[in-house]
Amino acid sequence: MEFLSGNFLIETFVPNDELIVSRTDLKGNITYANETFADISGYSIDELIGKPHNIVRHPDMPKSVFKELWEDLQIKGFWSGFVKNIRKDEGYYWVYAEVSTVLKDGKVVEYKSIRTPVSFENKKKYQLLYDEIRQKDSDKKRKVIYE
């Protein structure tokens, strides 16, 4: 992934009094998105519905975090953790995500996710941790080049 504008350096802050809420089908396609999700991600609700939730996955996120998410959802029915997302304009935003299964008649029918703001300390901690994990896993590496 290549960023040709400086937008990738611009953070959007999730307001402390807002929740980002979405639901997906069992394949991870968005079936519901609240206005806060649309506002923070830079997409309209119509642009989000039907798209894979990873439309907002930032390349700084290690693949192993999402592997753990899917494994935990299958085994425990829930997952929580810190996530750096990418906006439509290539900026970014951090959230603490709580993802869980939704059951109907004892069967998983969808997933729901509620996301809240993240402190500066945790953003710094998890950015460094995720950089380390990507390095260890030989995952994508970030390069910033000025020519």
Q: Does the structure show a pLDDT above 80 at 146?
A: no
Show the beta-strand stretches assigned E in the chain. 20-24, 30-33, 78-86, 92-104, 107-116
Q: Provide the pLDDT confidence category of residue 140 given band limits of 50, 70 and 90.
A: confident
Cα atoms found within 13 Å of the Cα of residue 58, Cβ hemisphere only: 24
Q: Which helix (H) or strand (E) holds 123?
A: helix 120-136
Residues 113/106, Cβ–Cβ less than 8 Å: no
Distance CA 33, CA 59 (A): 22
pTM value surpassing 0.85: yes
Share of the chain above pLDDT 90, in %: 85
- The pLDDT, as a whole number, for residue 137 is 87
- The pLDDT, as a whole number, for residue 145 is 67
Q: Does the structure show a pLDDT above 70 at 2?
A: no
Q: Does the structure show a pLDDT above 80 at 143?
A: no
